[in-house]
Amino acid sequence: MAELPDLDALTKDLDPQSRAVVVLLHGMLSSLLAQFEATTAKLEAENADLKRLLFGKKAERKVMPSVRREAARRAKAKETAEASEARKEKSLERRRGRRAKRRTLPVVEARIAVPDGERTCPKCGSSELRPLGEGAVSEQYEYVPGRLVRKRIVREKLACRCGEAVVTAPAPPQVTDGAEHGPGLQAHVVVSKCADAIPLYRQARRLERAGVPASRSTLCDLFHRSAQLLRPLRDRLLEIVAEDEHTSADETPLPVMHEGGCRRGYQWTFVAEPVIAYVYSPTRSGQTPARVLGGTKGTLQVDGYTGYNRVTTPEGRTRVGCWAHVRRGFFNALATAPDEAGEMMDLIADLYAVEHRAEEAGVVGSEAHRVLRDHDSRAIVERIRQWLDDEAPGHPPKSPLGKAIGYANGQWKTLMVFLDDAKVAIDNNVSERSLRATALGRKNFLFVGNDAAGENLSVLQSLVSTCQACGVNPQAYLEDVLVRVQTHPAKDIDALLPMHWRPAGERAPPPS
């Protein structure tokens, strides 16, 4: 900050009246200079943001380097030969697992005969050649495009000799009686939109190319009918999230069609691993987290948004802060205060290095992890606290670095919680990652038609995302559950949730 001339030097030879005028003017100039520098810092930060938006990479994960990747890089640089060997063995084990999974694919054999013109010995010219073993064998993975079939269902009819009665085989269970679209196709529509963010109009084009013309409105009906059938399962996932002691949450805008354009709705995510449950809301008010988590106890890991205050009360859940959000503020301040912001980012990277060591040791969430945090992370946090206290007075509150320091100070109590509970994560990234599907959908299908459509999307997204988190194939899951949910006992609904579901061949037979 620029400084004015020393006041004592200016006024030592002045009479009292002149001295008073100089002191007044000096104070006014100091105030104006502080305002000018604060405004300049703000404009420089806005200019840097605009340049990044116009000319830089748009995705934050491409702009801001991953702190976890940086922690892994540091650990790799310091590791011993034994640790290096163990890491390589672990990587090799993962590759073996992938190869073993590929071996489960069905084998299609293609036999290639020696051409007629080459069925003679190149040495003696004899044509009496005999097979030699299995032949020259090689393997490659080939893609077979998905195909649609017309499934013709023939139900046997039996007539009695008396001529009075006919017995007909029962119809196979369907999602909707008399529907011309089977459960597999209906599940494919849901998975394509929720897992791959493919809009329904593009799916209609793909089906037409495959030989089954289907309008977008027909696919829309299939999608929303599926959501209505499966809503009890999503509601049960929300109950499980509310029952869990450690939960994280986040929200993101979801445009909704409205007269004259779009209005803003919100998709909320509530995560209690491996459950990922979504809720749609027309507004961003705190009513949604209160409806999902109100009256429950435990921890709730979120960012600084005040909408979660209705849940994080002394009688409710303990609020847990996110160090990734703190780091983001200092990253944004790099353009105007590179040295100071870079120093803080290095300190936060040290915190993540401790987490990386816990992951490498396989002790995440255990007492050993808590001890590691208490011994190593607490010392780093104390250094961060001292840095914030030292730097705060020297930066205007509205400057990028001032805002970053203010956010860290405002969230300080919540940022300390992870030190005493190993079950609590250092950041809220698990919730942010779960909203990537919504962000990708926003780019592809742009908006939802109304609030009911937003809620239906949240129902199906919950089940598809939880399937993916549990390692369950969402196509196989939905194809089975869309049929079973209609006759399944409500008291045993947990058996249909992704984390408990088993394919038909692995389920226990019903009691005789």
pLDDT digits (tens, 9 = 90+) for 344-395: 999 999 999 999 999 988 899 999 999 999 999 999 999 999 999 999 998 8
pLDDT at 60: 47
* Structural domain spans, the chain: 172-321+428-512, 322-426
Task: Please compute the mean of the pLDDT values over residues 163-182 and round it to a whole number.
Answer: 80
Q: For 56-61, what is the mean pLDDT?
A: 51
Are 226 and 464 in contact by the 8 Å Cβ rule? The answer is no
pLDDT at residue 239 in the model: 96
Whether 204 has a pLDDT exceeding 50, the answer reads yes
Residue 3 has pLDDT above 70, yes or no: no
> Per-residue pLDDT for 99 more than 80?
no
Query: 131-145, 233-247, 425-439: which range is least confident on average?
Result: 131-145
**pLDDT at residue 510 is higher than 70:** no
- Residues of the chain with pLDDT > 90: what percent? 52
Q: In this predicted structure, which of 102-106, 107-111, 123-127, 358-362 has the lowest mean pLDDT?
A: 102-106
When pLDDT is averaged across residues 48-55 and rounded to a whole number, the result is 70
The set of residues, in sequence order, having a beta carbon less than 8 Å from that of 155 and lying 6+ positions away, is 168, 169, 170, 171
Look up residue 209 and give its amino acid. Answer: R
For residue 235, pLDDT beyond 90: yes
pLDDT > 70? residue 83: no
If you average pLDDT over every residue of the chain, what do you get?
Answer: 86
Confidence bin at 509 (pLDDT 50/70/90): low
**Which residues does 366 contact at the CB level (< 8 Å), separation at least 6?**
422
* Torsion, Cα of 172, 178, 179, 185 (10° steps): 10
Q: What is the structure's pLDDT at 76?
A: 66
- Residue with the bigger pLDDT between 508 and 171: it is 171
Considering only CA atoms, which of 231, 227, 230, 223 is closest in space to residue 198? 223
- In what helix (H) or strand (E) does residue 297 lie, and over which residues does it extend? none
Structure tokens at 1: 């900050």
Token pair for residue 240?
């499980």
Q: Are 299 and 318 in contact (CB under 8 A)?
A: yes
CB 250 within 8 A of CB 432: yes
Q: 247 vs 216, 222, 425, CA distance in Å?
A: 37, 32, 10
| pLDDT over 70 (residue 77) | no
- Token pair of 86 as six digits: 């163990």
Listed range (51-55, 314-318, 360-364, 461-465) with the worst mean pLDDT: 51-55
pLDDT at 28: 83
- Least confident stretch, 9-13, 232-236, 459-463: 9-13
Which are the contacts of 141, defined by CB distance < 8 A and separation ≥ 6?
A: 102, 105
Predicted confidence band of residue 79 (pLDDT cuts 50, 70, 90): low
CA dist., res. 278 & res. 120, Å (int): 69
Please name which of 497, 437, 509, 505 lies closest in space to residue 472, comparing C-alpha atoms.
497
Is 188 a residue whose pLDDT tops 50?
yes
Whole-structure pTM value: 0.79
Confidence band, pLDDT 50/70/90 cuts, at residue 280: very high
pLDDT at 59: 46
**d(C-alpha 410, C-alpha 22), whole Å:** 39
- Residue with the larger pLDDT of the pair 88 and 295: 295
Mean pLDDT of 65-89: 68
Q: Which has more pLDDT, 113 or 239? A: 239
Residue 228 vs residue 508, higher pLDDT: 228
**Which pLDDT band holds residue 61 (cuts at 50, 70, 90)?**
very low
Asked if 255 and 244 count as a contact pair (C-beta separation under 8 A), the reply is: no
- Given a contact cutoff of 8 angstroms between Cβ atoms, the answer to whether 68 and 324 are in contact is no
pLDDT at 210: 82
- Tell whether the model's pLDDT for residue 200 goes beyond 70: yes
Question: Which comes out higher in pLDDT, residue 402 or 133?
Answer: 402
The angle subtended at Cα 381 by Cα 379 and Cα 383, nearest 5°, is 75
Task: Identify the weakest region by mean pLDDT among 173-187, 344-358, 430-444.
Answer: 173-187
Whose tokens are 């801001």? That residue is 64
Continuous segment of H or E residues that includes residue 298: strand 298-301
Lowest mean pLDDT among 83-97, 347-361, 390-404: 83-97
Given the DSSP bridges, would you call strands 246-258 and 275-281 parallel, antiparallel or unpaired?
unpaired
